[in-house]
Amino acid sequence: MAIGDKSISAPLTAIKSLFKKPVTVRYPDEVLEVFPEKGVSPRFRGVHTNDLAKCVGCGSCERICPVNAIYMELPEGKEDVKKEYRPVIDYGRCCFCAFCVDVCPTVSLKMSREYDFTTSATMEMRDGEEVKFVIDEFMFRPTNEREDNIGYVTGKKMKVLG
Amino acid sequence: MNFNSYSLTKIAKEDKDTTYDLFFGPNHPGMHGNFGYVLDMVGTEINSVRPNAGQLHRGFEKLMEQRGWVQNLTLVPRICVMDPDPNEVAYCMSVERIMGVEIPERAKYLRTITLEMSRLTAYLLAIGGFGGTLGHYTPTHWSTADRDLIMDMFEWLTGGRVYHIYNIPGGVRSDAPEGFFDKLLEVMDALEARLPDYDSILFENPIVHKRLKGLGYVSKEDARKTGLSGPNLRASGNAYDVRKDVPYAAYPYLDFEIITQEGGDALTRALQIRLEYEQTINLIRQAVKKIPEGDVRLNLGLLGNLKVQAGEAYEKVESSKGEFGYYIVSDGGTKPYRVSVRGPSLPAGFLWAQKHLPTMKIDDVAAWMGSLSICPPDFDK
């Protein structure tokens, strides 16, 4: 096929786009054409969710994490044995690769479809005081509070462990 | 200091012999990353050029020696942001070659489909780049919107929009969801229907033809000698395509011809992208039609403790920029002993910059960078 230069008025065909609907929508709205449910795909890799009763504290997720974002920490008021430890995830480091979900032997660790992940940082600057950012909100222990919005899950068939 | 007296317009009009250094980049929309050129200017003409690399260096190859075989898969796509899948596939193919395993047929087809989808996103970005660098922003906005359709497909298939991390030694991470292929074919139809629009505003636009014709000419011989690859090489008349010459994944089962053009200038390279874009849509349709049923992954044991026997391998794939290769040495442990990455952009970004730019005016530099589709992260890695 040949693509040559045409008349100078050929680019004016772009004017027809003026009569089309805009592609973008304003922030809290979503384009629901592809994914009717909240505009997010059913397999989206978002913020984690962890069924704390199912989790056995094996630490596989901590070992596979390529960016060292997962720490196994003891929840308050629990006996100090290995099986009581539960993962705490630092979302400042997390790269949302979902390898932790892939290796979870009990399928307790999953990813939700929540991607809206902003927080406000307080910054105080008085005379001679240091600037402080509250960053703790990016680091927490995932629980099953997002269980109703599950995204990336690795089924039993694809399991690599157990 | 009166800055008005130093404006480029004034230099062009009056101070034709003024010499000065112009920093083109490191943050320039014509370049996909923090890489730039320091141009020694005389008036508005370029006298000599110094590539200004190093600001994008993150030590990928050394980092890979400190992480496990599978953990590295989160690192490799970052070597080329616009076209991440060739990196994943080349890395996985090298590991599989050392292990001496053959992946299931369905996984091969899924790899091919993701590779071609990734190529489409990169070509759409390149089409937008051509528009943007020529000051013609309509195709840029259009291609960004069209690219989002493929990003949605990637989100559905892999869970991620930009970094998919879908390929894994032994196959792919998960099978395609129900209804995925039908929707993918619909998206392909929508993208093909958009092509006449792109033709009329960009590829058949007389102004674009005037601006790009003869810019950055690379002869057939020189392209081969300097190691250009991909669309840049084929636009100079060399029929070389890794997909055809050293077939991998499902390419041996697909029917396509290598597209070559004589010309070797920026206009030919733009049209090359346009023609290969059509071919890519065709390849996706063929792959979806022929995809067999079956497993999508070999069981290679524990993912986290994957051990690869001692050995070395080099595997290459065809990306939207050219030939991407991964040379991997294993000493039998849980981490690679050495990983070396061959990126396609080095000859264009360094060598051809020093040959081409000194004959150009300042207005053409951005268009030249867009036409050779230089991706700095793959030489400044």
Q: Which residues contact B180 (CB under 8 A, 6 or more apart)?
A: B153, B156, B157
Reply yes or no on whether the pLDDT at A161 is more than 50.
no
Q: Which residue segments constitute the domains of chain B, with CATH numbers given?
A: 64-337 (1.10.645.10)
DSSP B361: B
DSSP B350: I
- Tell me the mean pLDDT per 10 residues along chain B, length 381: 60 70 76 80 84 85 90 90 90 92 91 93 90 87 90 90 89 87 92 89 87 88 90 90 89 91 89 92 93 86 83 92 92 91 87 87 85 83 79
Cβ distance A42 to B158 less than 8 Å, yes or no, reads: no
Cβ distance A99 to B152 less than 8 Å, yes or no, reads: no
Kindly list the residues from chain B whose CB atom is less than 8 angstroms away from the CB atom of residue A64: 68, 70-71, 303-304
Distance separating alpha carbons of residues A153 and A148, to the nearest angstrom: 13
Confidence (pLDDT) at B275: 92
With bands split at pLDDT 50, 70 and 90, how would you rate the model's confidence at A75? Answer: confident
SS3 B7: coil
ipTM given for this complex: 0.84
CB B80 within 8 A of CB B163: no
Q: Minimal Cα–Cα distance from A38 to chain B, Å?
A: 13
Instruction: Look over chain A and give the mean of its residue pLDDT values, rounded to a whole number.
Output: 80
Distance separating alpha carbons of residues A110 and A144, to the nearest angstrom: 9
Kindly list the residues from chain B whose CB atom is less than 8 angstroms away from the CB atom of residue A14: 138, 197, 200-201
Cβ distance B201 to A67 less than 8 Å, yes or no, reads: no
Confidence (pLDDT) at A119: 63
Confidence (pLDDT) at B202: 87
Confidence (pLDDT) at A29: 76
CB B349 within 8 A of CB B208: no
Instruction: For residue A44, report the phi and psi dihedrals to the nearest 5 degrees.
Output: -65, 140
CB B105 within 8 A of CB B293: no
Residues in A 6-45 with any Cβ partner in B closer than 8 A:
6-8, 10-11, 13-14, 17, 23-24, 34-35, 40-45
Exposed/middle/buried for residue A39 (C-beta within 10 Å: 0-12, 13-18, 19+) = middle
Q: Which of A31, A96, A97 to mutate to test the interface with B (most CBs of B within 10 A)?
A: A97
Neighbours of B278 (CB within 10 A): 15
Q: Minimal Cα–Cα distance from B154 to chain A, Å?
A: 9
The residue among A115, A121, A144 whose CA lies nearest residue A52 is A144
Q: What is the pLDDT of residues A89-134, one digit of tens each?
A: 988 889 998 888 888 888 888 899 888 777 666 666 666 666 666 5
In B134-285, which ranges are E strands? 167-168, 171-172
Q: Minimal Cα–Cα distance from B174 to chain A, Å?
A: 7
Q: Which residue segments constitute the domains of chain A, with CATH numbers given?
A: 38-155 (3.30.70.3270)
The mean pLDDT value for A22-49 works out to 82
Confidence (pLDDT) at B92: 92
